[in-house]
Amino acid sequence: MSKDKSSLSQPASSWTRIPDGTRVRHRHEGHDGIIDGLTELATGPGRNPDGKTQYRMNIGTQARQLVIEDDLCILLDADNLVIMVRQKEPYRRSVTAQLHGFFAEDRFIRAA
């Protein structure tokens, strides 16, 4: 029986984090932001697949919002490449391929 990638939880040893500078959208709250690192002093019950961190998401305010991987969609440009701050196309192409190996297609959305 085949399982959907979005329902599988990868063990920490095979977890691939979303790189800093990647543009993302919160799946439930709808706001866009940029991944700005990880924090191990995570609050609340949710954690990334490593079991100990949450992402810091820069949403344009001085404070960073703490979010877990399951709450994020990754934003793509018109060429279907991950949108990243200050990164050139070859690196973005590599990151796009890597993230497609870990996330289901419904986790990638075109930026408006």
Structural domain boundaries in the chain: 18-110
Closest CA to 16 of 60, 74, 63: 74
More confident site: 27 or 6: 27
Separation in Å, CA 9 to CA 12, 40, 48, 49: 9, 19, 9, 6
Q: Give pLDDT, residue 5.
A: 44
Read off the pLDDT of residues 53-106 as tens digits, 9 standing for 90 and up. Answer: 999 999 987 878 999 999 999 999 999 999 999 999 999 999 999 999 999 999
CATH code of 18-110, in short, is 2.30.30
Helix or strand (DSSP H, E) at 99: helix 89-100
Separation in Å, CA 54 to CA 6, 40, 81, 86, 100: 18, 7, 24, 23, 20
Q: What is the mean pLDDT of the chain?
A: 87
Distance CA 45, CA 87 (A): 33
Is the pLDDT at 4 greater than 50? The verdict is no
Q: Which residue has the tokens 């075109």?
A: 110
